[in-house]
Amino acid sequence: MVHLVRRRDWIGRIRLALTLFGLPFTGCTREVWPAICCSSSYPFRTSQSIRPISTSYCNLHTTSVWTMPSSAASHLKSRCPQYPGSKIKRFLVPDDKVGWSQNWPQYNPVSHTDPSVEKKPVWADPDIGSFSPKFNAVDGAVDRTSFEGSYKIEKGKPLNPHGRTGVTGRGLLGRWGPNHAADPIVTRWKVDAKQAKIFHSVSKRPILQFVSIKRKDCGEWAIPGGMVDPGEQVSLTLQREFSEEALNSLAVPSSERAKISERISKLFKSPGFQVYKGCVDDPRNTDNAWMETVAVNFHDESGNSVSELPLQAGDDAGQVQWVDVDSSFPLYANHSHFLELVAKEKKAHW
């Protein structure tokens, strides 16, 4: 009790100090500046244990005490102090200045486009000026529409629908505006040697497991998703990305690849449960380029389709394995939120 009172007192002092400096207090229980609420992987982590940790870092879906504007709540990793894969420091954006409707003449974001994007690879747009894409439309084979409705264009550049990020340009993202990805969430029940479901000791709910990969770029565990190629159907991206990252289909002979495809297509042809469709709170987001995804759950109820396939990491994945679905397991971007929705739908432990 004494401990609690002291802690509240401490938080109160921080709140007061921030108010005196004219800064907002967001209500994160452990962090006071929103950008610090980002994953601890920035600067990138070099190694991470697969064991779930007991205290999750500031996860606004579960631990926020005071409310903050919804645009700010879903826009934390997009404001990480250091832009991933670079030494670029974002212009810090407090919660109450996230929305574009807030007048903020002092806003002075850093312009950054990664050299890998400036090299004009096939997956990236050229610079605006020499190039004027059709925003809010399907532009040739490139889908520049947003799942979240029409986005604004300012001085020829698209504006992030979730607000300011402290960085302009495209950073690590190839497309101006929305960059579309797809995330296959492949699940099964955790079972014992007799194939009986295992229940969590505290929640008393059955435990789900999902196929998780460790991303090579940042070392964080994630859903094995990837970018939708121009003109590609999302259903195909879901199956392709899963095959490439979790089954290493790119590295096996074509006869073997056909077998993998046959084995998993039954599961992937099932309608699946669309878990999420919209913007992603991704640390690569900028004011002018952002990630959007469609996350779909494919569940192997009987445990005898994908569950029996040998997992092998490939392409952008450094490791792959079945991981227990649990709120304390930290994941890339807002993947944890997607798993929470799956757990709720399946009435599983979270």
Contact 84, 44 (CB under 8 A): yes
SS3 306: helix
CB of 210 to ligand BGC, least distance (A): 13
Q: State yes or no: residue 222 binds ligand BGC (CB under 6 A).
A: yes
In whole angstroms, what is the distance from residue 240 CA to residue 250 CA? 10
Q: What share of the chain is helix, strand, coil (3-state, %, to 5)?
A: 25, 20, 55
Q: For ligand BGC, which is the closer residue by CB, 84 or 206?
A: 84
Q: For ligand BGC, which is the closer residue by CB, 264 or 275?
A: 275
Q: State yes or no: residue 315 binds ligand BGC (CB under 6 A).
A: no
Give the count of residues interacting with ligand BGC (CB under 6 A): 11
**Which residues is 221 bridged to in the sheet?**
214
Residue from 84, 226, 314, 330 in contact with ligand BGC (CB under 6 A): 226
Q: For ligand BGC, which is the closer residue by CB, 86 or 203?
A: 86
Pairing of strands 226-227, 142-143: unpaired
Q: For ligand BGC, which is the closer residue by CB, 24 or 177?
A: 177
Site string for ligand BGC, 281-300 (x = CB under 6 A): -x--------x-x-------
Residue from 225, 272, 314, 330 in contact with ligand BGC (CB under 6 A): 225
SS3 143: strand
Q: For ligand BGC, which is the closer residue by CB, 216 or 266?
A: 216
Q: For ligand BGC, which is the closer residue by CB, 174 or 206?
A: 174
Q: Which of 217, 229, 348 lies closest to 283, judged by CA?
A: 217
Q: State yes or no: residue 72 binds ligand BGC (CB under 6 A).
A: no
Contact 170, 115 (CB under 8 A): no
Contact 349, 208 (CB under 8 A): yes
CB of 224 to ligand BGC, least distance (A): 7
Q: State yes or no: residue 38 binds ligand BGC (CB under 6 A).
A: no
Q: State yes or no: residue 124 binds ligand BGC (CB under 6 A).
A: no
Q: For ligand BGC, which is the closer residue by CB, 6 or 277?
A: 277
Q: Which of 317, 343, 323 lies closest to 220, judged by CA?
A: 317
Which residues, numbered 159-218, are part of the site for ligand BGC (CB under 6 A)? 181, 183
In whole angstroms, what is the distance from residue 65 CA to residue 321 CA? 34
CB of 296 to ligand BGC, least distance (A): 12
Contact 272, 240 (CB under 8 A): no
**Which residues is 183 bridged to in the sheet?**
295
First CA to last CA across the chain, in angstroms?
Answer: 28
In whole angstroms, what is the distance from residue 232 CA to residue 143 CA? 10
Q: For ligand BGC, which is the closer residue by CB, 241 or 326?
A: 241
Q: Which of 333, 35, 33, 292 lies closest to 164, judged by CA?
A: 35
Residue from 68, 73, 223, 317 in contact with ligand BGC (CB under 6 A): 223
Cα four-point dihedral sign 229, 214, 194, 205: negative
35-43, 83-91, 221-229, 339-347 -> range binding ligand BGC (CB under 6 A): 221-229
Q: For ligand BGC, which is the closer residue by CB, 146 or 206?
A: 146
CB of 139 to ligand BGC, least distance (A): 20
Q: State yes or no: residue 76 binds ligand BGC (CB under 6 A).
A: no
Write out the two tokens for 248: 């290493």
Q: What is the DSSP letter of 110?
A: E
CB of 219 to ligand BGC, least distance (A): 14
Residues that bind ligand BGC (CB under 6 A): 181, 183, 222-223, 225-226, 280, 282, 291, 293, 333
